[in-house]
Structure 1
Amino acid sequence: MTYLKRIAVAIIVVCLHLGSFAQQALWGGQNIVSPEVAADNTVIFRLHAPQATKVQVTGDFLPTQRVDSPYGKTDAPGVAGLVKGTNGIWEYKTAAPLSPELYSYSFIVDGFKTTDPNNVYLIRDVASVTNVFLIGGGKADLYKVNKVPHGTVSRRWYNSPTLKMDRRITIYTPPGYEASTKQYPVFYLLHGMGGDEEAWIALGRTAQILDNLIAQGKASPMIVVMTNGNAAQEAAPGESSLNYYKPTMQLPKTMEGSMEESFPDVVTFIDKNYRTIKNKTGRAIAGLSMGGFHSLHISKQYPDMFDYVGLFSAAIMPDKNAKSPVYENMDEKLKVQFSKKPKLYWIGIGKTDFLYKANEEFRKMLDEKGYKYTYHESEGGHIWRNWRIYLTDFAPLLFK
């Protein structure tokens, strides 16, 4: 064998070795299916942890438990124990089939909460990262990517003169927007405390829901704008000039008027850069929790801006220390807003939501004033399961 041939053979051997090493790195994980969804919608969770003494699973597929929180009693995911097999694999099978829904879960191994190494599907909610899985059927089919025309999801930066910074928003444009010349209505969809411009697109499944509702003819094609309601932030954690840091719910400039005062900056940007219907009849605003609070106060502060308003598990009254003029003269501002006869004022709340009483008192006031609204009461509490349902119910009512 010549010298050159020996070199060529050596190179091939090295490449094969490196390829084998790369394959090991790629495929060296546990060969376990978890979660495994059976045909009857029972689900098995598995974890290989031969040295563990106790393994549990926690998630919103389990019966909730009432726990204390800074806001009073609220719902928290239940916990169930896994059983250890002789091969070191722990298993838990749901006692009954699960109803259609997008579920989240985590493992607890000897007291340490962790994700499932055999499930690559993860979602971040504030500072928590959990695995997810989907049981199809019913409304949950709207949360799936189905074989229908798809819209476009983009992240855009806009300048806010009011906040004196560039900020990021997430925008959904409906199927066919790019090839069209028509003008579209705009739905501004706001997140809750600790969330950001990623929350509704990830946890809320907004793009999937709108794609499916539009394809079924149940919702009008619309642009959906998902803002960052934390007025001190440029963008979601890891997406701003601050780079990587631990997300937190304790953020400044959330419910003290800055978001409401600066909101016209967002509307101006969207109307300038997208083919929109630039009047009240072509705009809707809704949000969950803190986003519902923002929607309430933005819509009354600018009564000629939105014809459709949605309050999803909304906080209602500002903190007593919030001194913004946005929150002054609330009765007078609501009177002006309702005198202009908004086409839809929609309120949704769960029966065990810690904000239920505040919403009940707000509705009582609306009733006493004779202000018309649509009310939807659901099971459960302050949870994404409800907010996805509210979106699927609210969106078809818009721009009709």
Structure 2
Amino acid sequence: MNKRLSRILSLSITAALLVPTMASAAETSEGTAPAAIQATVDQGAVNTADITGQNALANTPVVPAPPGYDGYRNNIPHGNTNLITYYSTTVGNARKAMVYTPPGYTPNKKYSVLYLLHGIGGDEYEWVNAMKPKNILDNLYSEGKLSDMIVVMPNGRAMKDDRPIGDIYAPDKVAAFERFEQDLLKDLIPHIEANYPVYKDKNNRALAGLSMGGGQSLNFGLKNLDTFAYVGAFSAAPNTKPVNQLITNPGQAASKLKLLWISCGGSDGLLWVSQNFKNGLSSMNVPHIWYQDVGGHEPKVWNSGLYQFSQRIFK
């Protein structure tokens, strides 16, 4: 078993989420999926979406990303990615984040904001270095498929030394992922709103992430429905809290959320986390989009998640 995935499986697993026969045998995309997961994949409709809800966005079919969607294109306008520094009162020192601004960015107009979170072994550079967000967003802008937005990629480990070094699964580092909720709400969002020409209401804020960041997005986004109207999780990790802890008033959640997106690769050893969460949402009648992608716990699935999610927000 991949060591990183094995350690992730040991973190923050609650009784409501645990499926022992699947979790104990889970393999990454580099190995063979256990029988329970493989059967789910075989019987399911990989590459199609299980869509719930009345929202027009939720009723838009999910079409798999086309070949070349994340490749660099020479003959189109390009956005920029820059490293910024902000002061965190939560942590007590300066912290960093990457910010993508779209082609034609100008301070003379206003933008929505997507806060995009990394996994347990990453930092503010993970999306830019391991995935292809700039290519994906640039290409979608060139096709007229995105609303005007900036994308903020922070370090989701809210502690003084937030580098992913040493034992990235140490208790203080895992606790720092939970503490990031306060850093995000009290420090990062105010900094972005003070320094960029962005809208300052929930309908123009989205929160999404991969793996540990996907769990953070669900944990923080669904608890702060007056801050985020769009929430997405790509291959959410076991730090994800049970649905009934995050949503205590399903009717209110349904009315406040404009989009709740859950996706995961069909051969991901953590598929059970996403499946359990989407099943909980269905039992509560909370509108959402569930998309079972092709792949494991890997960048191509997270690139695909960004491609799909980004087109459905701020519409």
Distance 1:198 1:232 in 2: 17
Does the alignment pair 1:203 with 2:130?
Answer: yes
1:158 equivalent in alignment to 2:77: no
CA distance in 2, matches of 1:193, 1:257: 12
Q: Distance in 1 between matches of 2:28 and 2:243?
A: 33
Contact 2:243–2:281 (8 Å) recurs in 1: no
Within 1, Cα distance between the matches of 2:254 and 2:290?
A: 19
Answering whether residue 213 of structure 2 is matched by residue 285 of structure 1, we say: no
Distance 2:100 2:198 in 1: 13
Q: 2:256 aligns with which of 338, 341, 357?
A: 341
Q: 1:263, CA displacement in angstroms?
A: 1.2
Residue pairs, 1:223-234, within 5 angstroms: 223-233=150-160
5 Å-filtered alignment, 1:100-139, equals 138-139=66-67
Residue 194 (str. 1) matches residue 194 (str. 2): no
Residue in 2 aligned with 1:144? Answer: 72
Q: Which structure dedicates a bigger proportion of its chain to helix?
A: 2
Using a 3 Å threshold, how does the CA distance of structure 1 residues 234 and 167 change in structure 2: closer, same or farther? farther
Gaps (5+ residues) in structure 2? 10-24, 32-64
CA-CA distance at 1:167 after TM superposition: 0.2
> Does structure 2 retain, via aligned residues, the 8 Å contact 1:173–1:224?
yes
TM superposition shift of 1:352: 1.8
The answer to whether the Cα contact below 8 Å between 1:231 and 1:254 also exists between their aligned partners in 2 is: no
Shift in CA distance, 142/352, structure 1 to aligned 2, threshold 3 Å: closer
Instruction: Give me the whole-angstrom Cα distance separating, in 2, the residues matched to 1:235 and 1:331.
Output: 26
Cα deviation, residue 138, structure 1? 3.7
Unaligned runs of 5+ in 1: 1-65, 79-136, 238-245, 320-326
Q: Which has the higher strand share?
A: 1
TM score, norm. by length of structure 1: 0.60
Q: Distance in 1 between matches of 2:69 and 2:264?
A: 22
Give the structure 1 partner of residue 58 of structure 2: none
Q: Does 1:214 align with 2:141?
A: yes
What's the counterpart of residue 86 of structure 1? Answer: none
Does structure 1 residue 272 correspond to structure 2 residue 206? no
Tell me the matched-pair count.
261
Matched residue, 1:253: 173
Say whether 1:306 aligns with 2:242: no
RMSD: 2.6
Indicate conservation of the 8 Å contact 2:101/2:151, yes or no.
yes
Work out the CA distance in 2 between the residues paired with 1:200 and 1:334: 33
Residue pair 2:29, 2:295 contacting (<8 A) in 1 also? no
Structure ID, larger Rg: 1
> For the Cα contact (< 8 Å) 2:93–2:160, is it kept in 1?
no
Determine if the alignment matches structure 1 residue 386 to structure 2 residue 301: yes
Superimposed CA distance per residue, residues 49-83 of structure 1 (whole angstroms, 9 cap, x where no aligned partner): xxxxxxxxxxxxxxxxx7673435322548xxxxx
Match of 1:262 in 2: 183
Inter-partner Cα distance in structure 1 for 2:96 and 2:138: 23
1:381 shift after superposition: 1.3
Between stretches 219-228 and 256-265, larger displacement belongs to: 256-265
- Cα distance in 2, alignment partners of residues 76 and 372 from structure 1: 29
Q: Within 5 A, what are the aligned runs for 1:311-330? A: 311-317=233-239, 330=245
What's 1:32 paired with? none
**What residue identity is the alignment partner of 1:392?**
Y
The secondary structure found in structure 1 opposite 2:260 is: strand
Q: In the aligned structure 2, how far is the partner of 1:380 from the partner of 1:281?
A: 32
Q: 1:318 to 1:396 in 2, by over 3 A?
A: closer
Which TM-score applies when normalising by structure 2? 0.75
Q: Which amino acid aligns with 2:200?
A: K
Asked if the contact 2:216–2:239 (Cα under 8 Å) also holds between the matched residues in 1, the reply is no
| Alpha-carbon shift at residue 221 of structure 1 (Å) | 2.4
In structure 1, C-alpha distance between the alignment counterparts of 2:72 and 2:155, rounded to whole Å: 25
**CA 1:268–1:212 in structure 2 vs 1: closer, same or farther (change >3 Å)?**
same
1:170 is aligned to: 98
Structure 1 residues 357-396: Cα deviation after superposition (integer angstroms, max 9, x where no partner): 1222211211111111001101221111111111111111
Q: How much has 1:211 moved relative to structure 2? A: 0.9
Task: Report the CA distance between 1:259 and its aligned residue.
Answer: 1.1
Give 2:313's aligned residue.
398
- Between the aligned partners of 2:252 and 2:182, the Cα distance in structure 1 is 17
- Rounded to whole Å, the distance in 2 between the matches of 1:397 and 1:328 is 23
Q: Identify the residue that residue 130 of structure 1 maps to in structure 2.
A: none
SS of aligned partner of 1:75: coil
